[in-house]
Amino acid sequence: MKKLRSYLFLCCVTLTGTFLQGCKSDDYEPQTDLAYEVLVEGNTATFKVLTAGATNYNWDFGDGQTSSDANPSHTYPGKGKYVPTLTAMVNGKSTESSTVIRIAKSSPVKINDNSLDDWAAVTKDVVPLGTTKGVFNVVKFDYDGNYIYMYAEMTGKKADGNIFDFYIDSDNNAGTGLLTGTFAGGGYDILLEGQLLTGGLDIFYHAGTNQNAFAFDQQSIAEAFNVGTVKEEGGMVKFEMRIARGKLKGLTGEGMRVGIQAIKSDWSVVLGNAPDEGKPSFFLDMSE
């Protein structure tokens, strides 16, 4: 997966010198600007000084760690707010510049790395599978500030062209969206439906106020989801996908519920459910 750039900070602190004009002399004190940029990827921040001629660097990363490198990288211990401060000499004067970094939850998942190995580190949000799981063998989720990630292992192959229905309660509120016996516990605001591995998904939003009506309006939203690596081995197809939280309504909140059905390509039979049909949908806690 392309590296996600969670935050890009350009911090400039300007201490402007004085310009004094008198009858006998002009005294000009040069500016002592100190500027740097910060690129945050996961828990690691990379700092780059932009001010030419700065020397004697002293970085305080805001977590008790320091560095005297010109352009250091630093890995923070976890999520939270940090205030890194750079002190350096600029035009012969000691100058200080600070900014704020917020480290949010990160994910080890990389969609475009032609590998599924990174999913071995995802162990928390695993969907419980039961007697109606059918073709589903493993389904699990992860997330970060920008995306929701899903991994699945299913009996079959990519060319089967199975249809997927993703019932998503995006606001974790059973008082809005479709109420269905397929997956209890939620009101489903979003339906993603289609032959995910061969043709993609269509996006639908629940329409109207009648929660018992299967009424959805199709949406046209670019880049709302991406399929990553797909592999076939041992009679199974393994794949990953991600959903852009900022593209679909309600997904920027602190949690969602989701239930998934796999259906044969000709719509003739339901092949599996995750979690079990009739059981509460899976709750993905995104409060970190």
CA 132 to CA 259: how far, in whole Å?
13
Largest CA distance in the chain: 96
Contact 127, 152 (CB under 8 A): no
Query: Quick one: pLDDT at residue 11?
Result: 38
Query: Quick one: pLDDT at residue 14?
Result: 34
Lowest mean pLDDT among 19-28, 155-164, 196-205, 279-288: 19-28
Query: How much is the average pLDDT of 212-238?
Result: 97
CA 160 to CA 53: how far, in whole Å?
62
Query: Quick one: pLDDT at residue 128?
Result: 98
Contact 255, 287 (CB under 8 A): yes
| Tokens linked to 241 | 């996908």
Query: How much is the average pLDDT of 17-31?
Result: 39
Domain segments of the chain as ranges? 7-103, 117-285
Q: What is the pLDDT of residues 31-43, one digit of tens each?
A: 568 999 998 877 8
CA 260 to CA 135: how far, in whole Å?
12
**7-103 and 117-285: identical CATH topology:** yes
pTM over cut 0.75: no
pLDDT at 4 exceeding the cut of 50? no
Lowest mean pLDDT among 10-14, 143-147, 202-206: 10-14
First to last CA, the chain: 22
pLDDT at 22 exceeding the cut of 70? no
Binned at pLDDT 50, 70 and 90, residue 30 comes out as low
Query: Quick one: pLDDT at residue 18?
Result: 29
Query: How much is the average pLDDT of 206-224?
Result: 96
Length of the chain measured in residues: 288
The CATH architecture that domain 117-285 belongs to is: Sandwich (2.60)
Contact 113, 1 (CB under 8 A): yes
Query: How much is the average pLDDT of 53-61?
Result: 96
Query: How much is the average pLDDT of 243-260?
Result: 95
pLDDT at 23 exceeding the cut of 70? no
The CATH architecture that domain 7-103 belongs to is: Sandwich (2.60)
Q: What is the pLDDT of residues 141-197, one digit of tens each?
A: 999 888 999 999 999 999 999 999 999 999 999 999 999 999 999 999 999 999 999
Query: How much is the average pLDDT of 194-221?
Result: 97
Binned at pLDDT 50, 70 and 90, residue 17 comes out as very low
Query: Quick one: pLDDT at residue 21?
Result: 33
CA 245 to CA 142: how far, in whole Å?
12
Binned at pLDDT 50, 70 and 90, residue 80 comes out as confident
The mean predicted confidence, pLDDT, of the chain is 89
